[in-house]
Structure 1
Amino acid sequence: MKRLVAILMLLFLGTIAGTAQAERLVLVGASYGKNVLAICDTEGNVIWQQETSGPDKGHAGHHDLQFLPNGNILFHDTWTTLKEITLGGEVVWTYDAANSNGNTGKKVHVHSFKRLPNGNTVIVESGVGRIIEVNPDGGLVHSFPLRKGGTRATRLMRMTPEGNFLVCSENPGVVLEYTRSGEVVWEYPIGTRVYGAIRLENGNTLIASGGGNSVIEVTPAGKKVWAIEKQVPATDIQLQWTTCLQELPNGNRLIGNCHAGENNPQIFEITPDKEVVWEFDEFPLVGNGLACWDVLNDSQSERVRKQLNRLQED
């Protein structure tokens, strides 16, 4: 059964100065046999869906995606193939990490990437152990190696406001912040197969511990100041493989909760006071493999609706 909190109505159907707020849409990328990209409304109804090739045999699949300013979606169809598609299903950009920029014959997995405002794409390459930036033609414009010592198997990378790279390294389980020159300027060892980390507006770092079944907030000095572990307080939500994170303008946090089974939401919104105010629970659609998602803001959601309306008219 879909689990939605009553305050959802206040959040999404309320009014500001007499003008209705735009709805919140959720872009999801599920694997583990689901192999689908989809956009859902606040009630979980699918308004757009695209089947994907799925992962290489024996692997988990989609671990990152991005809703682009032009209304397209950037995702990886396999561990090594990145694609940009329109809502009409047209592939308008492809990058083959396995056979580009010196990787032919090498072991490489891509778990994270980011389209930059200048049109270039940052790609984190596990295995070969580097972060690269490529232009729209796939040409290499910048690169630097990830630090040695077991930190070359990564999960998510997110940019900081300063333009640094916040990288989650699975083994030995550490979050590293790199400058564009490759210098490590901050790190936090968490000791688990860490999945996601973002820099908060207050300057602290929010970390999804992955296999540690927790989300923690730490200061630049490494002091833990906030945490939810194993179970969200005052709820029956069990934390499993915590993944993507997002901070909302009101300070609330969106938490990804993968591999948690059909009795737990795959995404939930929690206040700094640890009150859960929204849940996304669409197990029939995404199953137990929703690692990556993007909750769209008002303008992004409005753009999706307009584009889908145009496609229907055509």
Structure 2
Amino acid sequence: MTGAAELSKHAQAAPVGWFGFATAHRASIASLVVLIFPLLLPFTALAVNILIYGLYALGFNLVFGYLGLLSFGHAALFGAGAYICGIAIVHFALPWYAAIALGILGGLLMALLIGALAIRTRGIYFAMVTMALSQCVYYLFYQAVNWTGGENGLRGVNVRTIDLFGLQLDFINPLTRYYVIAGFVIAAFFVLSRILASPFGAVIEAVRENESRARASGYDVTLTRLLTFVLSGGFCGLAGALQALHLSIVPIEIMHYETSGLVVMIALLGGMGTFFGPMVGAAVFLVLENLVSLRTVHWQLIVGVIFIVCVLFFPAGIWGTLIARGKR
């Protein structure tokens, strides 16, 4: 049997039992959770933030969890989607759907640019190169005051109504806003699930597990890394575009290295290399941030201690550890 046939068979074969059912229908199950999510939280704005940052972490996890590359430059992909979506609305008065499409394209192109320069490096060198390139992008957007607003951010990204097949939706309404954004997140679930279940998804994991063997099987490891990084940029660009519509402003801090560090923490907290882990990590982190910050201004210290405890007792992340125990 050829290497391609083996990988294809591996990608299509699902585990047996309840875990196999959950794996085969992971996008559908995740979508159902997203639909009922506003009922579980105290206010809708928090649920929207969890969706957006969960989607951002979902894109990052494609590189970090499934490919095995640690990137500290994903803020550039997230920010590029947000800024290009905002510029399309503010400076060119484009409709919301065209702005979102351009935001996704911006994330893809930014990932292609950064990936082409960084993808041949390994380990900590890849992390440092991506962070350096991301900071260069941050500086360029910071200096382009006429387009991005500089340190004041890009203001006026106002979308009040969503025209959907002749139906006017009030985007100002928090619940309507949530479900509009949830529609894009659910679509991203199914796209990502299809990628991971395809032969290409098996190749991604093969490169992570044994790069030399994947190369010996005839696969272009460098091209696989680059394509995966670009696909990750598409998901992050979509998250950035949705963030711009949600906030009606694009702050320059969205491209800062702290935004790259945040997504690493979310992925580790939820469970890298798991489908729903990024959403769990985003939910846990943002809920903790909101609850603890109401009690004390030193919330970062307390959340940091909780994060350390989670890492000690859930080494594969919260969701990753639960899955591992469920398999046993």
| TM-score normalised per structure 2 | 0.24
Higher relative contact order (CA 8 A, sep 6+): 2
| TM-score normalised per structure 1 | 0.25
> Per residue, is there more strand in 1 or in 2?
1
